[in-house]
Amino acid sequence: MNFATGLNISSSGLTAERMRMNAIAANIANINTTVTPQGGPYRRKEVVFEAMPQTKNFGEILTSNSAQSLDRVQVTRVINDPSAPIMKYEPDNPNANAQGYVAYPNINLMEEMTDMIQASRSYQANVSAMQATKSMAMTALEIGR
């Protein structure tokens, strides 16, 4: 593995975790949103990661060792949580149904905060890996002098 491959893998992790943090921030910001343009309450967003092969062209595939295939991470899609909304009895709310219940997003703040901490730590780990790769490359250049 060369330095560029390591940097590409770490940068893909940074991009994926940034998208995950954006989804978490949107979930927290919309925790009390009862009406969206699509109708109904806001639906919690979940980011789906997938391992993608690092090799890109036919020549790299032919020359790569399949036992040492390295994968990068990529966000393949952002899905809406299919769970049912939380129904709260608020007959005075303008968004209440005929029975007086308002549909709120099924978002657990503690779960979102836990996911945010995990995404933040993963982001920090990728930054550390990039810094270590950069440091190794700089040391290799110093040796070459």
pLDDT in the model for residue 120 = 96
Residue in 130, 85, 121 with CA at minimum distance from that of residue 103: 85
Question: Does residue 46 contact residue 82 with C-beta atoms inside 8 Å?
Answer: no
Question: Does residue 102 contact residue 93 with C-beta atoms inside 8 Å?
Answer: yes
pLDDT in the model for residue 7 = 86
Q: Low-confidence residues of the chain, pLDDT below 70?
A: 1, 54-69
pLDDT in the model for residue 68 = 59
Phi first, then psi, for residue 47 (nearest 5°) are -95, 135
pLDDT in the model for residue 140 = 85
pLDDT in the model for residue 127 = 95
H/E stretch holding 19: helix 3-29
pLDDT in the model for residue 55 = 60
pTM here is 0.81
pLDDT in the model for residue 56 = 58
Q: What are the residues whose beta carbons fall under 8 Å from the beta carbon of 13, sequence distance 6 or more? A: 72, 73, 122, 123, 125, 126, 129
